[in-house]
Amino acid sequence: MATQYSISGTTAKGIAASVERGVSEGELAPGDALPPVRRLADELGVSPGTVATAYKELRRRGLVVTRGRGGTVVAEAPSVASRRPPRVPEGLVDLAGGHPDPAFLPVLHPPAEVRPVFGSHRAAPRLAGLEELTRAWYARDGVPAERVSFAHGALDCIARLLSVELRPGDAVAVEDPGFHHLLDLVPALGLRMVPVAVDREGITPDALRTALRAGVRAVVCTPRAQNPTGASLSPARRDALVELLREFPEVLVVEDDYTAELSGPAAPTLAAAGLDRWAQVRTVSKRLGVDLRWAGVAGDPVTIARHDGRMLMTSGWVSHVLQETVAGLLTDQATVRLVAAGEVAYAERRGALAGALRTYGIRSAEGTGMNLWVPVRDESAVVNGLRTQGWWVAAGARFRIAAPTGVRITTAALDPADAERLAADFAGVLGDAQATYGG
């Protein structure tokens, strides 16, 4: 534990509040160890049971984690001080953020006129035009669209789905490696994460079987362009996973289809398989703009009703100004063409770097999307080495639970002409002794 911060309190609630205060004020940093239960009990003059209860509450709320013999430490992303991405040092090429290229995002033009209404929009939270567009978007890929709703982005929606379905201490199966913000969110909700391995075709049946038999209450997964690996479900993999899930009809399956294209061929999806409990979340932030905090969600009747019931009691609805903006962009032909151009460019840029790395014997995970996952033995050495060459990439630790080490490179804004230079620098950082990696 950081020596400059002293935990205080004579009750479990007071001790937990003291630790939370230290975390929120930055006096206790991620990874800092808390004192052993008996030692802190002696220092505060309370029973060990009081300290143990405080630590249990802190774990439930996602502020600390227990690492066996390593003791209790502050979580990497404590719920009271969620990590902000580090500022990119001046002069470096930012390939760490996971963001789309602004060149392929439309300029946002909110509706010029929004007339005031009497009261609130709780009675009619969804604009009919956008609801119709959302249903068509889902139906295009064979996802049942009889019941759809809206939320303030994917994580807002997933958090609501999990919080109304599960209770603190319940287990959730998550992809490993997976979306780092989701890996932060699940423990912050007081839920336990069960990692499920991912290969080029998505989550693996063996790993999902183990998680289901271990008693997970929900599964959160990505049907395509999985973050960070780029994996997408194949028809055969989708069928194998559905066969497993049918044995556990009470488990809620949440798909985060965050890169669902606005055009293009249908993709295999668990949401179209007729499961008892399911929801699929789709957003537009990667294709239309990161400031568009809107998500559509389709699901079974019970799941959508629970989501809407909780939303009714909190924010009530998504801003109609925002809804009008999204609806306008979805139907604007210039925007549709811009998005289509972006899809082509993103595939070209990802492929260019993957190909350049292969010429140096460096294999990356196969897939699609805006990111490239490259297995490495020493994440810190690679990240720091590339930094000296002018590149800023993301260490894989943010995305992993038990998965092997790696780094994530966002290729969305990487000029294909620069791919060869980055690959050469990457190979130089690895050195002759680490020239080849499995993908």
pLDDT single digits (tens) 155-170: 999 999 999 999 988 9
Asked if 268 contacts 404 with a C-beta cutoff of 8 angstroms, the reply is no
The type of residue at 134 is T
pLDDT at 433: 36
Would you place residue 59 in the very low, low, confident or very high pLDDT band (cuts 50, 70, 90)?
Answer: confident
CB atoms within 10 A of CB 10: 11
Residue 312 has pLDDT above 60, yes or no: yes
C-alpha closest to that of 86 among 78, 295, 94: 94
Residue 439 has pLDDT above 70, yes or no: no
| Sheet containing 295-299, strands listed edge to edge, beginning at the edge strand earlier in sequence | 148-151, 295-299, 278-283, 252-256, 218-221, 171-176, 192-199, 202-203
- Please tell me the distance from the alpha carbon of residue 368 to that of residue 366, in angstroms, as a whole number: 7
The type of residue at 48 is P
pLDDT at 438: 41
Tell me phi and psi for residue 317, to 5 degrees. Answer: -165, 165
Long-range interactions of 232-235: CB distance < 8 A, separation 24+: 232/201, 232/202, 232/267, 232/268, 232/367, 232/368, 233/201, 233/202, 233/267, 233/268, 233/269, 233/270, 234/201, 234/202, 234/268, 235/268
CB atoms within 10 A of CB 92: 16
Per the document, the length of the chain is 439
Which two three-digit tokens encode residue 125? Answer: 């939270």
Cα-based distances in Å from 233 to 142, 196, 201, 379: 15, 14, 5, 27
pLDDT at 426: 97
Strand partners, 407: 374, 395
Residue 233 has pLDDT above 70, yes or no: yes
Which two three-digit tokens encode residue 353? Answer: 């770097």
Which two three-digit tokens encode residue 143? Answer: 């996802």
Residue 229 has pLDDT above 50, yes or no: yes
Would you place residue 87 in the very low, low, confident or very high pLDDT band (cuts 50, 70, 90)?
Answer: confident
Strand partners, 388: none
Task: List Cβ neighbours of 262 (8 Å cut-off, separation of 6 or more).
Answer: 137, 287, 330, 336, 339
Residue 363 has pLDDT above 50, yes or no: yes
Q: Report pTM.
A: 0.85
Residue 393 has pLDDT above 90, yes or no: yes
- Please tell me the distance from the alpha carbon of residue 114 to that of residue 320, in angstroms, as a whole number: 8
C-alpha closest to that of 251 among 219, 208, 282: 219
Average pLDDT, the chain: 91
C-alpha closest to that of 310 among 302, 298, 321: 302
C-alpha closest to that of 94 among 411, 334, 416, 318: 411
- Please tell me the distance from the alpha carbon of residue 248 to that of residue 212, in angstroms, as a whole number: 7
pLDDT at 126: 94
Across the range 405-418, mean pLDDT stands at 96
Residue 432 has pLDDT above 80, yes or no: no
Task: Give the range with max mean pLDDT: 76-85, 87-96, 116-125, 243-252.
Answer: 243-252
Strands 93-94 vs 278-283: parallel, antiparallel or unpaired: unpaired
Would you place residue 84 in the very low, low, confident or very high pLDDT band (cuts 50, 70, 90)?
Answer: low
Across the range 137-147, mean pLDDT stands at 94
Q: Which residue has better confidence, 218 or 109?
A: 218
- Which of 143-157, 177-191, 270-284 is predicted least confidently? 177-191
